[in-house]
Amino acid sequence: MKSTEQAETEIRAVLRDHGRLAQDIATLAADADLYQAGMTSHASVNVMLALEGKFDVEFPDRMLKRSVFASIDAIRGALAELGAVAEAPDVQVAQA
């Protein structure tokens, strides 16, 4: 299980490589809306697949929704729920 800091670094690397963001991922806050930063639905699928490979998890159908991939915090929360990341006390998985 990765620490939340290590996980955020790796999530940012995946987003940099696969998110097709219009903004530099290093300048975005962890709660910034990735879709407003330029990520498309297609890019979010690539991000999901890269995260699955990086963290050795599989996102279940119930997590295959926009809100799970809307921010670094949301992604980290989903990975924590899947047991790949130590859970931060203030992070919750989006329920939509």
Model confidence at 96, pLDDT cuts 50, 70, 90, reads very low
What is the CATH superfamily name and number for domain 4-81?
A: ACP-like (1.10.1200.10)
Reported as a single tens digit per residue, the pLDDT across 26-84 is: 999 999 999 999 999 999 999 999 999 999 999 999 999 999 999 999 999 999 999 98
- Domain definitions of the chain by residue range: 4-81
Residue 7 contacts by C-beta under 8 Å, 6 or more apart in sequence? 55, 76, 79, 84, 85, 86
CB count in 10 Å sphere of residue 16: 13
Model's pTM, two decimal places?
0.87
